[in-house]
Amino acid sequence: VEEAAKELRNALESGEHPLGLAAPQFGKGLRIVAIGETQDAVDRLTTRAQISEEHRVFKTTILVNPKVTPKPGTSDAYFFERSASVPGYEAVVGRALEVEVEGFNEEGRAVSFDAKGWQARQLQHTADMLEGVLYVDRMETRSFRRDTVEE
């Protein structure tokens, strides 16, 4: 677990994974996710995206065996998502605005907390990957598109 957590942390902190990472993306058969958002990542976004998607800085968080549940009464927000598992594409996905999280940290201590906004989206996105569910399984089908323009 320690080695996988370190690998996930390093990959996340590279800045190339805005929706977090899950151990299976690295060929690890472990139920571990990594999420986080740096000031640099937030600063690269438009003010509109920062506000509408509820981005905020939060340190890298490693969770083992996470359970992510939408908070009762919360509504969904629809934004584009992408993943290294489906390179070059993106699609609109509806996710709960607020979630309740339970799991274990890197040291094996039980943790529970609530998350909202982009942090909640990251948690749902990465927890899905542990179940073999990708954003394309939840997308609004007609929104699927290339996320880059090839020259």
Read off the pLDDT of residues 71-104 as tens digits, 9 standing for 90 and up: 999 999 999 999 888 999 999 999 999 999 999 9
- How many helices (H) and strands (E) are present in the chain, helices listed first? 5, 8
Nearest CA to 32 out of 97, 129, 134 is that of 129
Backbone angles phi, psi at 56, to 5 degrees: -155, 155
Instruction: Give the whole-angstrom CA distance, residue 141 versus residue 4.
Output: 33
Average pLDDT of the chain, as a whole number:
92
Above 90 in pLDDT, residue 16? no
- pLDDT of residue 19 exceeding 80, the answer is no
In the chain, the N- to C-terminal Cα span, in Å, equals 42
pLDDT band, residue 150 (cuts 50/70/90): low
Give this prediction's pTM.
0.90
pLDDT band at 151 (very low <50, low <70, confident <90, very high): very low
pLDDT greater than 50 at residue 148: yes
Model confidence pLDDT, tens digit, residues 115-129? 999 999 999 999 999
130: which residues sit within 8 A by CB, 6+ positions away? 22, 23, 24, 31, 33, 66
Distance CA 35, CA 101 (A): 13
